Amino acid sequence: MLVSAMDIFVRTWMSRGMPCTTWHRCRISPSPGHVPLATHGSGMQNGNLSTAVAAMEFINARGEIVRLSRQKDGDTFRGAVVHLGGIGLVTKLTLDVLPTFQMKQWVYLNLPMQQMQAHFEDIMSAGYSVSLFTDWKGNDINQVWIKQKADDADPDKDFYGAQAATRDVHPIIAISAENCTAQMGVAGPWYERMPHFRMNFTPSSGKELQSEYFVPRKHAVDALMAVNRLGKHIAPHLLISEVRAIDADDLWMSPCYQQPCVTIHFTWKQDWDNVKKVLPMIEQALDAYDVRPHWAKLFTMPPAKLRHATSNWPISKPCYSSMTATANSATISWQVACMVNQSW
Ligand SMILES: Cc1cc2nc3c(=O)[nH]c(=O)nc-3n(C[C@H](O)[C@H](O)[C@H](O)COP(=O)(O)OP(=O)(O)OC[C@H]3O[C@@H](n4cnc5c(N)ncnc54)[C@H](O)[C@@H]3O)c2cc1C
């Protein structure tokens, strides 16, 4: 019931067209479940969705109502916002909001991999939000999606060797663009341009598995090339990959804690038997780049690796030492729940 009440709140607020400082950056419509998992969109200057939370209210394990705010509660607040569902039932969120604005988006096809390597920062900075889509099959990034504020100057027809699409396209080019939001520079409200897919239409392929890895931005190009070298192992099981940028934040369990990141997302065919063989190869290839997994998606990193990857988090050591089961979000969530319920 509580989740439903929050869901109604989010949808009412979205329908009024009022963007919060981060939720308009996501490729899907937000729900209350997005905040605990640090769900993100893309943009060099954009933090994940959880960074828009200014205050929260929840019922803890003792049945007490706890209210925390960014302004008053310092580390206690920063340790609670991304909580993987482990702190109790969140009943209220207060969000930073912005005046509404218009946006437009452009898609470019076939960005040469060498251009991506040479100009990665410029490419990812070419709009308010930029995504790269690829299937790792050739020497090109298949598509570059650039989302701009409506008043920004249109990008050139040639974008680092990629060509402007001449019709609306789906990230998987063989699928009809019917479910996608308007492209070709047609201006519209932010909430009909920031998500790739139209509200009430099937996002992505609709029948898929997902994995996503965060690497510090300074390692982005090397990490992408490491994944590209695995192309022949990845491509047979993949629908499409998306590369995005997220700014650093100060939320303890956020994969972007104190580091601006690039994410490498894999939309897999629904074939866990094969996907679970490829994930360790990707994790091994990204191991040298301080990789962290997305909490809401599939990964196979063992606890020791995860502990190392998150060693700069200010969570107490005893919490980690009791993390013995498979490193999945439920385990970590439980540990954080223990910690926060001790202090509240
Ligand atoms: C099609 C698709 C596209 C996606 N795109 C993106 C993307 O662009 N970027 C990205 O980062 N991720 C993306 N994701 C993953 C997404 O972040 C998670 O699936 C999302 O967080 C789940 O939200 P939910 O409301 O469905 O979550 P649930 O699974 O219902 O909840 C998620 C967590 O939040 C907790 N929770 C929910 N409500 C409350 C509450 N009121 N109080 C306390 N805890 C609560 C739950 O216990 C759970 O631990 C995508 C997933 C899908 C299926």
Per-residue pLDDT tens digits for 265-280:
999 999 999 999 999 9
Residue 61 lies in a domain: yes
Place of tokens 């898929």: 208
3-class DSSP assignment, residue 49: helix
Whether 78 is in a domain gets the answer yes
Whether residue 33 is contained in a domain is answered as yes
Nearest atom in ligand 1 to the alpha carbon of residue 87 is 43
247: in domain: no
pLDDT tens-digit series, residues 99-158: 899 999 999 999 999 999 999 999 999 999 999 999 999 899 999 999 999 999 998 889
Residue 186: how many CA atoms within 13 Å on its side-chain side?
8
Query: In the predicted model, what is the mean pLDDT of residues 177-202?
Result: 91
pTM attached to this predicted model? 0.88
User: Measuring CA to CA, which residue among 179, 146, 140, 178 is closest to residue 165?
Assistant: 146
Note whether residue 37 is domain-resident. Answer: yes
| Residue with the two structure tokens 């510090």 | 216
CA distance 232 to 48: 31
At residue 55, φ and ψ (nearest 5 deg) are -160, 155
Structure-token match 């909490």, residue found: 295
Per-residue pLDDT, 30: 58
How far, in Å, is the centroid of ligand 1 from the Cα of 282?
A: 23
> Which ligand 1 atom sits nearest the alpha carbon of residue 263?
11
| Atom number in ligand 1 closest to CA 84 | 49
In angstroms, what is the span from residue 81 Cα to ligand 1's centroid?
14
Within 10 angstroms of residue 236's Cβ, the number of other Cβ atoms is: 12
Residue 62 in domain: yes
Which residue lies with its CA nearest to atom 10 of ligand 1? 39
Ligand 1 nearest-atom number relative to CA 333: 49
- The letter for the amino acid at 215 is V
Task: Give 37 Cα–ligand 1 centroid separation in angstroms.
Answer: 6
Conformational region of residue 204, where left means phi above 0, alpha means psi within -120 to 50, and beta covers everything else: left
pLDDT in tens, 83-96: 888 888 999 999 89
Strand partners, 103: 149, 188
**52 belongs to a structural domain:** yes
| Parent domain of 55 | 2-95
Range list of β-strands (E), the chain: 53-59, 65-69, 89-95, 102-112, 129-134, 140-149, 158-159, 162-164, 188-189, 209-216, 238-246, 261-268, 292-293
CATH number, position 46: 3.30.465.10
Q: Would you list the DSSP string of 231-270?
A: HHHHGGGEEEEEEEEE--B--TT-TTBTS-EEEEEEEE-S
Q: Which of 199, 210, 266, 292 to mutate to test the pocket of ligand 1 (most atoms within 8 A of CB)?
A: 210
Total domains, the chain: 1
Residue 308 lies inside a defined structural domain of this protein: no
